Amino acid sequence: MNTQLVLTVLCDDRPGVVEQLAQTISEHHGNWLESRMAQLAGKFAGILQIAVADTHQNELRTALGGLTDKGFKIVIENAVNTTKPDCREFSFSVVGNDRPGIVREIAQAFAARHINMGELETACSSMPWSGEPLFEATGIIEVPKSVDMNELYDYLDKIADELAVDIRLESSTERNS
């Protein structure tokens, strides 16, 4: 029987980080399934899902723990199977002058409506015409079918006006579980 594990990884960014992880996982009979990884502020940060036979799980966990000597901080959790309610999937984007509170306001609007934020990616850069800080966010949300979309759009418009940002939602798919 296989167990699926979710790992979060943090270390100083340097060449070979992913190779060290992959080698350790492979040497201990793990199978790399999915991952999201990035370099931020000189750090390597990643989250990945792996499968491993139950008979090899303890040795893999021990080997991953041994990577602390090489500067890795790794948290290992068992994956959880969840059943998602009927939902509609939307991609969203937010663009505007950078200021504190943008992510909080958007996250509160979604959480208050039981909307799951499945992905979020943010970046700050400079506006080409003025050099002012520009905030950009993109992501995927899973909106329960019970959510009143007109009310959600109205509320996001209100946030956009208050924060002077542009917020867009685009329907991706409908998912039934």
C-alpha 86: how far from its chain's center?
21
Per the prediction, the chain carries an average pLDDT of 93
CB 12 within 8 A of CB 43: yes
pLDDT at position 67 is 96
Q: Which residue has the tokens 């995927």?
A: 140
CB 79 within 8 A of CB 49: yes
Domain boundaries, the chain: 2-78, 87-175
52, with CB counted inside 10 A (0-12, 13-18, 19+), is buried
How far apart are alpha carbons 83 and 67 in whole angstroms? 34
70 pLDDT above the threshold of 70: yes
**Confidence category of residue 74, pLDDT binned at 50, 70, 90:** very high
pLDDT at position 132 is 86
CATH number of 2-78: 3.30.70.260
Q: Is the dihedral angle over the CA atoms 48, 50, 54, 55 positive or is it negative?
A: negative
pLDDT at position 173 is 61
The predicted-structure confidence for 93-146, as pLDDT tens digits, reads as follows 999 999 999 999 999 999 999 999 999 999 999 878 788 899 999 999 999 999
For the residues 71-82, what does the mean pLDDT come to?
92
The predicted-structure confidence for 30-62, as pLDDT tens digits, reads as follows 999 999 999 999 999 999 999 999 999 999 999
| Superfamily (CATH) of domain 87-175 | ACT domain (3.30.70.260)
For the residues 11-39, what does the mean pLDDT come to?
96
For residue 33, the cross-strand partners are: none
**Confidence category of residue 177, pLDDT binned at 50, 70, 90:** very low
User: What share of the chain has pLDDT > 70, as a percent?
Assistant: 97
